[in-house]
Amino acid sequence: MVSLEHNNHSVGQSAYHIVFRPRYNVCVFRHPWVKQVCEDALKETAKNHNITIYEMKVLSDHIHMFVGLPPTLSLSKAFQLIKGASSRKILQRCTKWRAFFSYDGRQQPHLWSKGKFYRSVGNVKADIIQNYIANSNKWDFDYLDKQPTLDLYQRGQD
């Protein structure tokens, strides 16, 4: 389970399931060496930008990642950093791909497609948050760590 992150002036959780694929929807990660190169590039990129990888799976034609982002990093910027830096690192090691992933040989090669999937992930369901907002008037976030399915309305009536 992903816990809340405590920072100097904030408490929160910014976890996402993200999916992206190579340009032209090709199965480039079939070979174990290439798959390892991709995993290493993604891990190094995440480490350099304080992105926590909770889980990652490199499949032959797409990548699944469950990541935690620092509060100063937007999801859009995280995608830009992950895809850009990992592409550069992968193409440095897999040099034969450079021509294939260039449009006409004159442009910089782009390994990843423009498309992406993302979904925010938390350990509390939406109805719990909605109930908390409707029935609370104090800054009490401890319940998120202790009991993710706590019914706050009933708690207030005790």
- Please state the φ and ψ torsions of residue 100, each to the nearest 5 degrees: -65, -40
pLDDT value of position 105: 60
- From the options 3.30.450.20, 2.60.120.10, 3.30.70.1290, 2.60.40.10, give the CATH code of 5-121: 3.30.70.1290
pLDDT value of position 84: 93
Angle at 17 between CA 136 and CA 129, to 5 degrees: 10
pLDDT value of position 100: 78
The series of mean pLDDT values per 10 residues for the chain, 158 residues long, is 78 89 88 93 96 91 92 94 94 83 72 90 72 64 51 45
pLDDT value of position 142: 59
pLDDT value of position 133: 63
For the chain, the 3-state helix, strand and coil shares in percent, each to the nearest 5, are: 40, 20, 40
Task: Give ranges for CATH 3.30.70.1290 in the chain.
Answer: 5-121
- Please state the φ and ψ torsions of residue 115, each to the nearest 5 degrees: -75, 160
Structure tokens of 1?
Answer: 């389970």
pLDDT value of position 43: 97
